[in-house]
Amino acid sequence: MILADYFMKEALKEAEKAFEEGEVPVGAVIVSGNTIIAKAHNQVEILTDPTAHAEMLAITSATNYLGAKYLEDCTLYVTLEPCPMCASALNLAKIGKIVYAAEDEKNGFMRYGTKMLHPKTKIDFGLMNTESISLMQNFFRDKR
């Protein structure tokens, strides 16, 4: 298994935790030098906090771990295209690279384009998007 696959699988495991907890199933991991330094999943409902997206919790966790407010040498793997709040937070954190699985045409940051990110941040997407989309569809099917 290539490393990127492994990291996205870990993000998907986080998304599954969110699913089991009745949260919109989004998971994220942050990697520094091939080591996972933060894992998080969406906790909006349990924390009754609209800002508690997986990416936000992962950024706070990773910066705490590193004792630094920038994540230039880190990669975020996340199961869904970040929303504008999370993309702007990733900009402030100067994240090195973002890899997201599924696109989010309705709520994703790409409505505003990549100018929302730091100019040095690299982007990749589509990795394991089938698994991520399937998890989201199961979640919203159960909700109806």
Look at the alpha carbons of 35, 38, 42, 46 in this order and tell me if their dihedral is positive or negative: positive
CA distance 46 to 44: 6
Contacting range for a copy of itself; rule: CB under 8 A; set: 8-16, 27-35, 51-59, 120-128: 51-59
Q: Which of 14, 20, 21, 55 is catalytic?
A: 55
DSSP per-residue codes, 78-142: EEEPPPHHHHHHHHHTT-SEEEEEE--TTT-GGGT-GGGS-TT-EEEE-TTHHHHHHHHHHHHHH
Give how many residues touch a copy of itself by CB under 8 A: 26
**Closest to 101 measured CA to CA, from 122, 75, 132, 123:** 132
Which of 3, 92 has the CB closer to a copy of itself? 92
Which of 24, 136 has the CB closer to a copy of itself? 24
Binder of a copy of itself out of 3, 5, 51, 130 (CB under 8 A): 51
Q: Does the annotation count 21 as an active-site position?
A: no
**Binding of a copy of itself at residue 117 (CB under 8 A)?**
no
Site string for a copy of itself, 66-105 (x = CB under 8 A): -xxxx------------xxx--xx-xxx------------
What's the burial of 143, exposed, middle or buried (CB within 10 Å: 0-12/13-18/19+)?
A: exposed
**Binding of a copy of itself at residue 21 (CB under 8 A)?**
no
Binding site for a copy of itself (CB under 8 A): 44-45, 48-52, 56, 59-60, 63-64, 67-70, 83-85, 88-89, 91-93, 112, 116
Q: Which residues are catalytic?
A: 55
